[in-house]
Structure 1
Amino acid sequence: MSQTQQVLIVGAGCFGLSTAYHLLKRGYQNITVIDRSPVLPAPDAASTDINKIVRSSYADAFYAHLAREAIADWKDAELWGDTYHESGVYCPLVVGEEYTDKAYENDVAAGARIEHLSGADAIRKVFPPGVSVAVPENARGWLNRDGGWAFASQGITRLMDRVTSLGGKIVPGKAVAEFLKKDGKTTGVRCEDGTVFEADLTVLAVGSWTASAFPELSLQTQCLATGQTVAMIQLTPEEGDQYRDCPVVLNFVTGVYMFPPNQDNIVKLAIHGGGYTQTVENAKSAQVISTPRTITSHGKDGLRIPKAAAQKLRAELAQVYPELAKKPFAATRLCWYTDAPDENWVIGYHPEDSSLVLATAGSGHAYKFLPVVGRLVADAIEGKLPPDVASRFAVNRPHAKDGVVAPELRYQPAEELVVDQLCGPDDLLPVPS
């Protein structure tokens, strides 16, 4: 592509903004980002959040190394300000749990600042004095000091500012109605309000709306929208100060993770797992596709999580912070991801359209790479991805023997959301002792 050609990026989230940023840094002069939401950051985007984990602990060495590059970039205060908080990330070690063992080995091999912790006393010392931590006497784990968390919404806002300062255009309130086509190639989009954006190249980066907003691409199996469960606890200022210097706690076995309190003294905890689907008949087609249920589509009702998930979160919280488990949940959220069957992202040209690039399927682990993921997309656009990386992210890559893809072949199958099993106010209260 010529750097003077028009690039249209649909979606002003993690993938879209990072792609715009890296293309602009490479000298591309006509970059436009549009988003369906009239308010940016979009209130229901996964990246619009109080915090996301920034960690390099991956069983896959590719992501471990890429995460360390991202962490180095997060420390650029000119670009990110105080978005990144290097609290450290504590991970329990479980005997025989392959992912955890490999993640630890990769951290050590990469030269991360690792503290191996053996026994309850050693583990308690990584938490502030006075914080009650429930740890079995024979517990083991490690603390990676090269990591922590990022104020997610602030990171998106700052990157939006940088994109516009570099000459990119960001246009909110432009939901796409259809692709414009000529000779089988995408030439832009027509929005629901009638606005037309022409483009030499269109990058689709719409997160968990990928399959449902564009059913004609038939991406339901490759890009499954799943709601992941989040709960929050409001601390007093005094409690916030007490827990402020805690590390992020990440349990790879249970999928539960917890943050130290943010500046508003809110403790967030969540489950990374198979999540929940909401399969509904698609408005644009006769297909039944998992579609996000959010605060935008369902108001406050879109924030409710299943009762079973709330119970798991509270039980796991009690295994780490027993005093916090006695407090009510102040809020919940279904945070919608786009999950690929193998949890690798989808980055690359559509196999049937050389003017359409996909940048999606964050699979619950994309935000930490906000500073660098757009570099991969830019490399894909320019044909510079190494073959092994290109095949890892290919839109049409196979996921099972003979290329057959089915929900049960996913690493962690999702459950269908049942509305009458969602939390009510009483479900947010602690269990009476």
Structure 2
Amino acid sequence: MESRKRIVVIGAGCFGLSTAYYLLQRGYQDVTVIDRASVLPAPDAASTDINKIVRSSYADIFYTRLAREAIAAWKDTKEWGNTYHESGVYCALSLGETYTDKAYENDVALGARVEYLSGLDAVRRVFPPTVNIAVPEHARGYINRDGGWAFASQGISRMMEKVTALGGKIIPGKPVAELMKTDGKTSGVRCEDGSVFEADLVVLSAGSWTSSAFPELSLQRNCLATGQCVAMLQLTPEEADMYRDCPVFLNFHTGFYIFPPNDDNIVKLAIHDCGYTQPLKSRKADTTVSTPRTVLSHGPDGLRIPKASLQKLRAELAQVYPELAKKPFAATRLCWYTDSPDENWVVGFYPGDPNLFLATSGSGHAYKFLPVLGRIVADGIEGTLPPDVSQRFAVDRTHATKDSTVEPEIRAHAPAQLKEEELCTPEDLLPAPHA
């Protein structure tokens, strides 16, 4: 009977697709993934991107272990092709910031190929000699060779292929109008075009749209949509070749990170911090919910980031690659996370409804787990998660204090409110004359 369960997954992103894949692998025969976007991978999904960091450097050893499993899976080129690039990840260490020190201890404890680096010369040695990298005299950090980055959009496309190869259905252009109920329990979904998908189980993996699309679930606290600031540089082939062999640079204290150039010679840089919210009045309920502002909802305007964050990105870039800081930014993007207060994901049944399961709140650190993430969700659905893991991800859990958060302190601050008048203009993408 279990194998004939009708399962509908809302959201064809990282959580939704990985969940569908693992359920199909376990013999469930009727698995349908629907997504609001008419084109997949969805152009404005957080997982639709040129690259995401793949690292095991976590202060919480639970994620260190899981990340190392994911990295081992990423290395299987038969499954993932050239999606994963093992460039290494350099983590800068800062005085008074303990997250990275603990992450280093966990990496060492689990046998990662790490090297502690102290002083200017030691740090410079892990970057190509052709690169002008600004390193403070007393810099310290470490390089983890077991990590790098993944071509995110390609990874999602590969997972879509895996789902369909196992008999799963993926249907784009299906924004959900409502969750249908029978005797107080979820019994399917009705889409805005009137189509109905009846289900024995609905898995809600709508990413940053989770709270705004389903305000009746009151998920704003556990699934807060925050916009994170990203910028891109377009390098010439010659410039890109100089930086091609750089590791990912990551500073947990400031939230700044930057990738080596991709095949299109684009360098992406971003800040992983508390981000921005956009509170909007819900169309479905008398409430205000943070709602993503993206290229699909606002056109090119949806890609603009606040000027203050753009300036911070350039200032942080100058502290790492001063020559690149002199170049204009080619583009910006607000990348929308789904944040939980304690940075742990939300994976569990909605309280009081055994037919509605949540798999969301990636909190900006879920993509790297794409090859293994669905296993946790499938275990949760089948009731086989260890009690401590189940409680860690429970929808109604008591949230941890700041001292035991999954991510660095900069992520514990309250997000700012997005203001349209403060967003950058094309002129702001240019460097200052003296830069």
Give the shorter-chain TM-score range: over 0.9
TM-score (norm 2): 0.97
Q: Does residue 11 of the first structure (1) align with residue 11 of the second (2)?
A: yes
Q: Does residue 420 of the first structure (1) align with residue 421 of the second (2)?
A: yes
More displaced 10-residue stretch of structure 1: 90-99 or 181-190 = 90-99
Residue of structure 2 in register with 1:313 after alignment: 313
- Rounded to whole Å, the distance in 1 between the matches of 2:239 and 2:412 is 38
Identity of aligned residues (%): 73
Paired letter, 1:244 = R
- Rounded to whole Å, the distance in 2 between the matches of 1:141 and 1:99 is 12
SS in 2 for 1:335: strand
Residue of structure 2 in register with 1:153 after alignment: 153
Residue of structure 1 in register with 2:114 after alignment: 114
SS in 2 for 1:9: strand
Alpha carbons 2:351, 2:395 under 8 Å: kept: yes
**Long gaps (5+) in structure 2:** 402-410
Paired letter, 1:393 = F
CA offset digits 1:218-262 (Å, max 9, x no partner): 001111000000000000011111110100000000001000000
Residue of structure 1 in register with 2:223 after alignment: 223
- Rounded to whole Å, the distance in 2 between the matches of 1:24 and 1:330 is 41
How many angstroms does 1:413 deviate by? 1.2
Residue of structure 1 in register with 2:350 after alignment: 350
Mapping of residues 151-300 of structure 1, within 5 Å: 151-300=151-300
CA offset digits 1:62-96 (Å, max 9, x no partner): 00110000000101111110000000000111233
How many angstroms does 1:3 deviate by? 1.5
Residue of structure 2 in register with 1:138 after alignment: 138
- Rounded to whole Å, the distance in 2 between the matches of 1:272 and 1:342 is 15
Mapping of residues 76-87 of structure 1, within 5 Å: 76-87=76-87
SS in 2 for 1:143: strand
Residue of structure 2 in register with 1:407 after alignment: none
SS in 1 for 2:357: strand
Paired letter, 2:316 = E
Mapping of residues 123-134 of structure 1, within 5 Å: 123-134=123-134
Paired letter, 2:423 = L
- Rounded to whole Å, the distance in 2 between the matches of 1:281 and 1:300 is 22
Residue of structure 2 in register with 1:429 after alignment: 430
TM-score (norm 1): 0.97
- Rounded to whole Å, the distance in 2 between the matches of 1:411 and 1:126 is 31
Paired letter, 1:343 = E
The two structures, once aligned, show a CA RMSD in angstroms of 1.3
- Rounded to whole Å, the distance in 2 between the matches of 1:426 and 1:170 is 41
- Rounded to whole Å, the distance in 2 between the matches of 1:226 and 1:141 is 29
Residue of structure 1 in register with 2:407 after alignment: none
- Rounded to whole Å, the distance in 2 between the matches of 1:7 and 1:385 is 19
How many angstroms does 1:166 deviate by? 0.7
- Rounded to whole Å, the distance in 1 between the matches of 2:116 and 2:399 is 35
How many angstroms does 1:208 deviate by? 0.3
Alpha carbons 2:56, 2:67 under 8 Å: kept: yes
- Rounded to whole Å, the distance in 2 between the matches of 1:304 and 1:153 is 21
Q: 1:179 to 1:414 in 2, by over 3 A?
A: same
SS in 2 for 1:372: helix
How many angstroms does 1:400 deviate by? 6.5
SS in 1 for 2:358: strand
- Rounded to whole Å, the distance in 1 between the matches of 2:298 and 2:40 is 19
More displaced 10-residue stretch of structure 1: 87-96 or 317-326 = 87-96
How many angstroms does 1:412 deviate by? 2.5
How many angstroms does 1:100 deviate by? 1.1
- Rounded to whole Å, the distance in 2 between the matches of 1:234 and 1:333 is 14
Q: 1:400 to 1:121 in 2, by over 3 A?
A: closer
Q: 1:212 to 1:89 in 2, by over 3 A?
A: same
SS in 1 for 2:354: strand
Alpha carbons 2:342, 2:400 under 8 Å: kept: no
Paired letter, 2:82 = D
- Rounded to whole Å, the distance in 1 between the matches of 2:122 and 2:101 is 19
More displaced 10-residue stretch of structure 1: 110-119 or 392-401 = 392-401
SS in 2 for 1:273: coil
Paired letter, 2:220 = Q
Runs of 4+ in structure 1 displaced over 2 angstroms? none
- Rounded to whole Å, the distance in 2 between the matches of 1:119 and 1:178 is 57
Paired letter, 1:337 = Y
How many angstroms does 1:411 deviate by? 1.8
- Rounded to whole Å, the distance in 1 between the matches of 2:433 and 2:233 is 17
**Long gaps (5+) in structure 1:** 402-409
- Rounded to whole Å, the distance in 2 between the matches of 1:95 and 1:65 is 26
How many angstroms does 1:333 deviate by? 0.1
Question: How many aligned positions are there?
Answer: 427
Paired letter, 1:80 = W
